[in-house]
Amino acid sequence: MRLFKDEQTNRRFSRMQWRMLFATMIGYTLFYFMRKNFSFAMPGLQQDCGISKSMLGNFLFWGGIVYGLSKFVNGIVGDKVAPRKMLCFGLLACTLVNVAFGFAPEIAARLGNGEQGTGNGAALVWTFGLLLVLNQFFQGTGFPPCAKLIAFWVPPKELATKMSVWNTSHSVGGGLVAKICGVLMGLGVIGSANQGVGMWRWCFWVPAIIAGALLRYSERDKAFSEWFALHVQPIWQGGMGRFTSLFPFSVNEIVIYLAIAAAVFFLIRDITR
């Protein structure tokens, strides 16, 4: 699609558009690395830490609730914050939380009686629960900046095609972390009858290491944003105005979201009684 009269400017815009697309794909793939890894670490958490399947199910339930609420809240925040800063902050926060996941027994020992092991039951459960809630909350900072950048950089006539390309980051992230964590947990059975003992820690550490190493690439939109504001934004300022609103929800949408939030609240209250 030609946006400029100058062919050189058109080519440069196309290159920068694809670089933005791949940078956000890498960024969102890393979010998947640090969200889907918990499920693969669960057998080790059961065996090594003595956490029951029922409690792990509670972790996943509350994590899903927090993740959904976080995407709603951060969707509003994302309209007010620079995408690069929000994306990088979320990735950095998830990286630190995943590192802490691997040290959860040691953290629980400090919060409990000072001894590691399954005897710290309550402290260990609270530690994992708190870390999972924090991780899921920061996970909600991933999609809003990506959606904002794509909406800014991709003209409406190309949006469906480019968004389809970007959406492959979900499958790529989920598939790669499944392979990585599967191999890691498999290493725990070598010379041992206890599946995954100790290796669950690396299900958190390895994705965190990969995310930390690639974090720098995902923040490379600063120059893009400046070039966009100078050359592109004036062209479709009117057509993109709806994406720059500081509060993009109508009154009816707000009422619906509040009703859903109230229903979830009363459901959780009844379940936890």
Q: How confident is the model at residue 97 (pLDDT cuts 50, 70, 90)?
A: very high
Please name the amino acid found at residue 196.
Answer: G
Please state, in angstroms and rounded to a whole number, the distance separating the CA atoms of residues 43 and 56: 10
The pLDDT tens digits of the residues spanning 198-212 come to 789 999 999 999 998
pLDDT at 102 exceeding the cut of 80: yes
Between 196 and 155, residue with greater pLDDT: 155
pLDDT at 151 exceeding the cut of 60: yes
- Region 36-48: mean pLDDT is 89
Please state, in angstroms and rounded to a whole number, the distance separating the CA atoms of residues 188 and 4: 57
Q: Which residues contact 236 (CB under 8 A, 6 or more apart)?
A: 155
The reported pLDDT for the residue numbered 148 is: 87
The reported pLDDT for the residue numbered 185 is: 85
Among candidates 218, 210, 212, 207, which has minimal Cα distance to 88? 218
Please state, in angstroms and rounded to a whole number, the distance separating the CA atoms of residues 39 and 213: 23
User: Taking a C-beta distance cutoff of 8 angstroms, is the pair 10, 4 a contact?
Assistant: yes
Burial of 153 (0-12, 13-18, 19+ CB in 10 A): buried
Alpha-carbon torsion (129, 131, 135, 137), positive or negative:
positive
The reported pLDDT for the residue numbered 44 is: 86
The pLDDT tens digits of the residues spanning 177-186 come to 999 998 888 8
Please state, in angstroms and rounded to a whole number, the distance separating the CA atoms of residues 242 and 191: 60
Please state, in angstroms and rounded to a whole number, the distance separating the CA atoms of residues 158 and 171: 22
Q: Has this prediction a pTM greater than 0.85?
A: no
User: Rg (Cα) of the chain, in Å, rounded?
Assistant: 21
Q: How far is CA 173 from the centre of its chain?
A: 11
Of 51-55, 164-168, 244-248, which range is least confident? 244-248
pLDDT at 56 exceeding the cut of 60: yes
Please name the amino acid found at residue 158.
Answer: E
